[in-house]
Amino acid sequence: MKPAVCLLSGGLDSATTLACARRDGFACHALSFDYGQRHRVELEAAARVARALGAAAHRTAVIDLRVFGGSALTADIHVPKGRQTAEMAAEIPITYVPARNTIFLSFALAWAEVLGASDIYLGVNAVDYSGYPDCRPEYIAAFERMATLATRAGVEGHLPLRIHTPLITLTKADIIRLGLSLGVDYSLTHSCYDPSPGGQPCGACDSCLLRRAGFAAAGLEDPLPYPPEAP
């Protein structure tokens, strides 16, 4: 089996993307990041998902984005709750991490080069996250071109690097239906930006709301245990 590097946060989208890479016949090398998240539960979910989906390997790279400041996911900024979907999509969220996908893809590229892999899977979505500049198809295409020029493989005339983004044009409901058809167990995943100390999702941050709306639109029940008071 050819190797592929699959970026895996432990959330719903990245779990579905890993299942797509498995469907496509790759030996999946799952890559997570310990980047000063406030919540270790995210990394624990990534490890569970990698195991459940039969990844050939799972590595967690330690990076420190806090050294630059600037985001709710790594700095001490209030996470917005109970927003409408239109409100989330209309602006770049304060949970945006500067250059995050560029940094994550750069590490994936390093591992791909060591493995001799020319395929990377990334669970970006341009529908729910239209506010993130680095979730757009034109960004992904520009990264592919840069990455092909960056590597030994590009110089020596091997295959160009390909970044697979199987979810990029799907709605959340489509993603959930796709994942279920590929055997993803969504009870293992974690999406919340602001979980309880015990790891329970809040049900009200942008990420929980998008996820719950997706399950509702698909006519399915989200297996995660939200608090009864969640909207």
Are the C-beta atoms of 172 and 85 separated by less than 8 Å?
Answer: no
CB of 85 to a copy of itself, least distance (A): 19
**208: its two tokens:** 């929980």
Cα separation, 96 vs 132, in Å, equals: 7
CB of 219 to a copy of itself, least distance (A): 34
Binding residues for a copy of itself, rule: CB under 8 A, are 59-65, 67-70, 92, 96-103, 105-107, 109-111, 113-114, 133-134, 136, 138-139, 142-143, 145-147, 149-152, 154-155
Query: For a copy of itself, which is the closer residue by CB, 22 or 58?
Result: 58
CA atoms within 13 A on the CB side of 66: 12
Query: For a copy of itself, which is the closer residue by CB, 26 or 139?
Result: 139
Query: For a copy of itself, which is the closer residue by CB, 59 or 81?
Result: 59
Amino acid at 90: A
Query: For a copy of itself, which is the closer residue by CB, 107 or 226?
Result: 107
CB of 118 to a copy of itself, least distance (A): 13
Calculate the alpha carbon distances from 182 to 40, 48, 199 in Å: 27, 16, 26
Query: For a copy of itself, which is the closer residue by CB, 108 or 224?
Result: 108
Query: For a copy of itself, which is the closer residue by CB, 147 or 170?
Result: 147
Sign of the CA dihedral 80, 84, 87, 92?
positive
CA atoms within 13 A on the CB side of 183: 12
CB of 205 to a copy of itself, least distance (A): 20
CB of 154 to a copy of itself, least distance (A): 6
Query: What are the residue ranges of helices labelled H in 75-126?
Result: 85-89, 100-115
CB of 95 to a copy of itself, least distance (A): 13
How many other C-beta atoms lie within 10 A of the C-beta of residue 211? 27
CA angle 67, 69, 70 (to 5 degrees): 155
